[in-house]
């Protein structure tokens, strides 16, 4: 495993937006998948919020995508999105990928806390987040459905 974070570019843009979190999503192009917003949605949202988007690579292959930055309303740094393509899930990429993103966030923002929210039914993601040290805050973020908020003290 040779994981790296790389910027979204003209060269990898379509590889990133074609990654889907579930095989069923391969047949559709939509803004929201069942457990996560589409990568195209987060690239667009990042462009208006000043967030950072990164492709997650294993060697030369795009396996996932992450978005992070400052939530100006809450005045806190957030891991806004993290996804692995369905074909890369369950293969040991989750924990190393989130740790790589956390490392980048700590270096970029020199922050002492990182927040995220997650669909409560997304149990595999919650397990990865908790394994990385995120703990529930008791807060609920109301997106398109209620999402529990988690915090990591770094």
Burial group, residue 59, by CB count within 10 angstroms (0-12, 13-18, 19+): exposed
Q: How many Cα atoms are found within 13 Å in the side-chain-facing hemisphere of 121?
A: 5
Residue 93 catalytic?
Answer: no
Q: How far is 132 from 93, CA to CA, in rounded Å?
A: 13
Residues paired with 37 in a beta bridge: 32
The catalytic position among 77, 93, 115, 129 is: 129
**Among all residues, which ones are annotated catalytic?**
129
């Amino acid at each position: 495993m040779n994981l790296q974070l790389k910027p979204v570019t003209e060269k990898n843009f379509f590889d990133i937006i074609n990654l889907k979190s579930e095989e069923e999503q391969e047949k559709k192009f939509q803004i929201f998948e069942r457990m996560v917003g589409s990568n195209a949605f987060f690239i667009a949202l990042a462009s208006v919020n000043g967030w950072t988007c990164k492709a997650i690579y294993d060697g030369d292959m795009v396996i996932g995508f992450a978005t992070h930055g400052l939530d100006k309303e809450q005045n806190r740094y957030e891991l806004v999105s993290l996804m692995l393509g369905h074909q890369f899930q369950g293969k040991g990429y989750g924990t190393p990928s989130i740790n790589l993103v956390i490392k980048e966030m700590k270096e970029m923002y020199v922050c002492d806390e990182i927040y995220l929210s997650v669909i409560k039914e997304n149990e595999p993601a919650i397990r990865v987040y908790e394994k990385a040290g995120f703990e529930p805050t008791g807060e609920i973020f109301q997106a398109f459905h209620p999402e529990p908020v988690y915090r990591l003290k770094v």
